[in-house]
Structure 1
Amino acid sequence: MLFSTIFTAIALPLLAAASPIELQRRAGGPAIVPLAANCTLINPLPHASLHPGNATISGYLPSSNFSSSYHLYSWYIPQPDFESQNARWSNCIQQCNGFPGCVSAFMAYSAPLPKGWLGLAGGELEVGCFMYNQTLTPLDFVVAEKGQYVNATAGNIYCPRATPATANTSVKSTASKKTPVKVVA
């Protein structure tokens, strides 16, 4: 009895100690990768230029032709969602940025869950994030059914490629540096 008590008193702290075991990559969504400082996010939603400062437009979704041709990945979250729309959109676009080949994303509230999604019946209205390997244009959107795809946000990620090194790279540039614009409506 005394031996088991002493053994337990010694063994438990040793078992609870932190282990230097490296974590393996696990299945799940794309990695969240923040946009680089030189990247621009362009809003392709129809009429976005008519609503300066308002990045959301209700009642549009990418056409089924566009989605079937360029869809890479999507996720859904049940409503009500307790994250702010900006935080949720940031997650969506940064996951697109972390997914190889993804160049545009679309997120909307009240997006119908597809039939068979994770074995569910489908049809429930949820928050949806959709990622594509083709840039979206205003012509790629169609009008959604009333009450669906509301508070939608979309973005095309544009990151200029680094200029190749030349023989004159050791010469200091006198050009002024400009702060990049993050979001263009």
Structure 2
Amino acid sequence: MVVAIPLSFGTTWMLDTIGLRITLILGSWLNMLGALLRFLGTLPMDAYKLQFPAVMLGQTLGALAQPLIIFTPTKLAALWFPDCQRATANMIASMSNPLGILLASIISPVIAETSAQIPKLLLVYAVPACITCFLATVGIWSSKPPTPPSASAESSGSEPFIRGLKLVKTQKAKKPQRE
């Protein structure tokens, strides 16, 4: 989660510049590669010295993938859903990450009762990551729908990233006036 804070700026830039599609596909590939490396790092090897770096590299790739995924629901809802459905779409997409963490926390002790079963657990984690990566790569064809779902989606646009940061920095909060 610490990595997510500085990477949130890069993710925001990517969403605005290269689009939702590439950002999600990149995030799914990083997540899949990270999951596979974590699994492969637990397999018995002749060179034990390679296992720890493989697991840490896998963890790093997973950490890099997280902001690319968790910061996209708002953009997804704004581009693909009409005004009346945006809050629901944003809520469902935003809650998928914590629900996945909850599910993993419940299932993990059942799958890996001993430390010897950790490779099996990491394989169980890698399989959905691989499936999701495949589905994202072949299934996400566009960052935006061919026809905007509403007039606000058609005209919605955000400031270019650097200009938006400058606006946020220079905007002053208005003090409430007393009546």
- Structure with bigger gyration radius: 1
Q: In which range does the TM-score fall when normalised by the shorter chain?
A: under 0.3
Q: What TM-score results when the alignment is normalised by the length of structure 1?
A: 0.22
The structure with the greater share of residues assigned to strand is 1
Q: Which has the higher contact order (CA 8 A, sep 6+)?
A: 1
